[in-house]
Amino acid sequence: MSEKQQQIEAHNKATDEFVQLANRMANEQGLDIKMVSAALMAASGVYATFMAAGNQGFLAPGGVDRVAEVYKRNLAYIQDRKKEELEAKGLKPKPVAQVKAEADSSSS
């Protein structure tokens, strides 16, 4: 197995473990999923700061922008994969904002 494939598998394993932890927090501890999601984002920000600046530093505005851009690209990639997954199941996925707009207009 190539080094790149090993990195992908390690990344997927770590991601899965974080999702499992979040699910346990929500399902077994009864924490609100919005709070769990916010806590995961906060933890990611803390860790990204540590990775870039260590324990004695912090991100300058340009560093914050770079981390936010990486996060944005990653989130867009995840959404593309989710859309493909739903389409492969024969579903017609709609972006959440589109679904909410349609629900709002039909309830008027």
Separation between Cα atoms, residue 103 and residue 100, nearest integer Å: 5
The answer to whether 32 touches 26, Cβ cutoff 8 Å, is yes
Model confidence over 23-80: pLDDT tens digits?
999 999 999 999 999 999 999 999 999 999 999 999 999 999 999 999 999 999 999 9
Model confidence over 26-38: pLDDT tens digits?
999 999 999 999 9
Count Cα atoms within 13 angstroms, Cβ side, for 68: 7
Domain layout of the chain by residue ranges: 1-53, 59-108
